[in-house]
């Protein structure tokens, strides 16, 4: 990674951290983009080089989650079916980042329940990701799964992850043990996808 890329990564992380701090201390609605930019020591105009909106700060690893799914599909083993590939993608996300189970994940789940704009952005992110993963699954397993089945399978997968996280983090203010949360989510996914696993 070049020096410029490292600097961009640090600034991006500084924005996410500043936003989390401010959302927790002031509340989401009382925090402005200018507040977040100032806390991260950048200009407000520069903020938009990193994020399109305040809501997007709560979904910083969306591209990484999609990338993990795409990589799991591309590097699947000969015995892996679509369900096994999705479970492997979830494991990769758990190993690479704490986005689902850490501080941002807890804050995101809380704000999705209480702030309509965050809920709307979350649904849009989820729908876009589901559609892309389903499209790639159907292309990777042409004789096994069509686009409708791929969409149904991906919906079951994403729904299991989302449902498990909602329950696990419902009354949590701080992240719980990330490994325990990750395992619980994997169990939920295994339950949801059982009919899809290859025998």
CATH number of the domain bearing residue 38:
1.10.10.60
Q: What is the pLDDT of residues 113-172, one digit of tens each?
A: 999 999 999 999 999 999 999 999 999 999 899 999 999 999 999 999 999 888 888 766
What's the mean pLDDT in 38-62? 95
- Same domain? For 98 and 189 the reply is yes
- Choosing from 19, 35, 52, the residue where a domain stops is 52
Angle, CA of 103, 105 and 106, to the nearest 5°: 65
Three-class DSSP category at 169:
coil
- Same domain? For 139 and 178 the reply is yes
Quote the pLDDT of residue 123.
95
pTM of the predicted structure, to 2 decimals: 0.86
CA distances to 42, 77, 134, 193 from 157, in Å: 38, 20, 11, 7
How big is the chain, counted in residues? 199
Q: What share of the chain is helix, strand, coil (3-state, %, to 5)?
A: 75, 0, 25
- Same domain? For 82 and 142 the reply is yes
For residue 6, with 0-12 CB atoms within 10 Å meaning exposed, 13-18 middle and 19 or more buried, which class applies?
exposed
- Same domain? For 119 and 89 the reply is yes
CA distances to 5, 6, 8, 53, 93 from 1, in Å: 6, 6, 11, 26, 21
Residue 1 has pLDDT above 70, yes or no: yes
Asked if 101 and 181 touch (Cβ cutoff 8 Å), the reply is: yes
- Same domain? For 128 and 168 the reply is yes
Q: What is the pLDDT of residues 143-156, one digit of tens each?
A: 899 999 999 999 99
- Same domain? For 126 and 191 the reply is yes
- Same domain? For 37 and 89 the reply is no
- Same domain? For 139 and 104 the reply is yes
Residue 173 has pLDDT above 70, yes or no: no
- Same domain? For 74 and 44 the reply is no
Domain extent for 36:
3-52
- DSSP assignment of 127-144 equals HHHHHHHHHHHHHHSTTT
- Same domain? For 93 and 48 the reply is no
Q: How many domains does one find in the chain?
A: 2
Residue 65 has pLDDT above 70, yes or no: yes
Can you give the CATH number for the domain in which 104 is found? 1.10.357.10
- Same domain? For 94 and 190 the reply is yes
Asked if 125 and 150 touch (Cβ cutoff 8 Å), the reply is: no
What is the phi/psi pair of residue 54, to 5°?
-65, -40
Alpha-carbon distance 22 to 90, whole Å?
Answer: 29
- Choosing from 52, 67, 87, the residue where a domain stops is 52
- Same domain? For 42 and 64 the reply is no
CA distances to 9, 103, 136, 153 from 126, in Å: 24, 19, 16, 14
């Amino acid at each position: 990674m070049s020096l410029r890329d490292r600097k961009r990564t640090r600034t991006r992380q500084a924005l996410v951290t500043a936003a989390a701090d401010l959302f927790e201390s002031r509340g989401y609605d009382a925090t402005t983009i200018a507040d977040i930019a100032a806390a991260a020591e950048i200009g407000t105009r520069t903020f938009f080089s990193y994020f399109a909106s305040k809501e997007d700060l709560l979904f910083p690893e969306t591209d990484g989650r999609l990338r993990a799914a795409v990589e799991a599909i591309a590097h699947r083993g000969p015995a892996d079916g679509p369900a096994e590939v999705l479970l492997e993608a979830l494991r990769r996300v758990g190993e690479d980042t704490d986005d689902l189970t850490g501080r941002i994940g807890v804050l995101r789940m809380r704000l999705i329940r209480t702030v309509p704009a965050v809920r709307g952005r979350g649904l849009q992110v989820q729908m876009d990701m589901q559609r892309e993963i389903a499209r790639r699954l159907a292309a990777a397993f042409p004789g096994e799964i069509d686009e409708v089945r791929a969409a149904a399978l991906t919906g079951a997968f994403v729904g299991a992850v989302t449902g498990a996280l909602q329950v696990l983090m419902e009354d949590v203010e701080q992240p719980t043990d990330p490994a325990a949360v990750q395992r619980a989510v994997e169990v939920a996914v295994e339950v949801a996808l059982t009919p899809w696993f290859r025998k």
